[in-house]
Structure formats: structure tokens, C-alpha cells
Amino acid sequence: MASLVERLRARASESRMRVDDLRTQISALQNELAAEEEQLSRWAVAEEAVDELLAEDGNTDAEAASVAGAEARPPEASVAATVVERTVVSAPVTRADGKVLGESHEDVVLALASAGRPLRAKPICEAVGWKTEHRAVERMRVKLKRLVKQGWLTEDEVGLFAIAPGVGDSPEMSGGVDGTAADGV
């Protein structure tokens, strides 16, 4: 009969092998998911281009085609596809304190508003039309962290970004607008 320590080591070794196997499976699934999300994003962009062309031609079926495409899209569609579905009117993004977000950062806040939920850097890259390679995602992460420090976004969970409370609120509600752009933005 094996000693208690030997049995413990054997079980730990089995567990380690299972953990390594699960990590390998997760990695493969993440790669498969990323490839499928990229493909879905491409289809969403193609659908948007077709809608634009149909609208230019005065074809009233463009709206019907768009609605049919949205109905066919699975609920777990990528963020880029979700942003394509929703229309957000672009206006200067302000906070309740009257500060105005610089134009170079508006796309990020509008993408988060369109998604309607907190997002990670890679889906935000997709939503604003950036590449999703590592370097671009890291650039976006730096941009998002800067916006958190400036009070435009929050990061309640590490790597998960959301619009900060008061962003997008009418400045009149807080008493006055100074009309200046936010510092460093």
C-alpha cells in the first residue's frame, strides 16, 4: 500500500495534468472565438456598406434588409456588430461638471455607450475600427487607463471599462458650462 504522501503526490500530478489540459482547451477556444468574432465583425461591416449603398440608390428595402440581418444575428454577436446595429448621435461628450471630452477620445465613449455595457480593450478596438492585434489592443488599453484617470471612464473590474457616472449628463444640471476642453485630453 502506497504511503499517504505518495498518494497525495499522485493526485496532485493528475490534477496538474488536468489543469494543463484545460488551459490548452481554453487557449484553443479563445483563438477560435477571436477568429469567429473577427469574421462576424467583417460581415457586420459588409452589411453596413450594403445598407449605405442601398440608401444611396434610394432603395427603401435597405431598412428591411438591415432589420432582417439583425434578426438573423445571434445574441452573442460581437461588440462591433452591436455598435453597427445601434445609432448614437455624435455630439460633444460632456461631464456633469461641464468639461468637454477631446474629439480624439469621443469614439471610445460613444462605442461604450452603443454597447450599453462595460467592455474590454479588444472589443472596443473592434467597435472603433482599430485592428485587434496585440499592439493596437495595448495602445487602446493605455488610452482607456488615461480616460479612467481623467474621470471619463471607470474600471471597476481589472480590464473592464465603462462610462463614468456623470459622463454624458447635461452640464446645465450641474450648474454652468465653462466651454473649455478637458485638460490633457
pLDDT in tens, 133-153: 999 999 999 999 999 998 899
Task: Name the pTM for this structure.
Answer: 0.45
Higher confidence at residue 34 or residue 59?
A: 34
**Residue 28 predicted with pLDDT over 80:** yes
Mean pLDDT of 6-30: 91
Q: CA 100, 105, 109: angle at the middle one, nearest 5? A: 85
Mean pLDDT of 109-114: 86
Higher confidence at residue 117 or residue 88?
A: 117
**Cα 47 from Cα 50, distance rounded (Å):** 5
The confidence band for 45, taking pLDDT boundaries of 50, 70 and 90, is confident
**Residue 179 predicted with pLDDT over 70:** no
Mean pLDDT of 146-163: 91
CB 150 within 8 A of CB 185: yes
The confidence band for 155, taking pLDDT boundaries of 50, 70 and 90, is very high
Local structure of residue 117 (DSSP, 8 states): S
Q: What domains appear along the chain, each with residue ranges and CATH number?
A: 4-85 (no CATH), 103-174 (1.10.10.10)
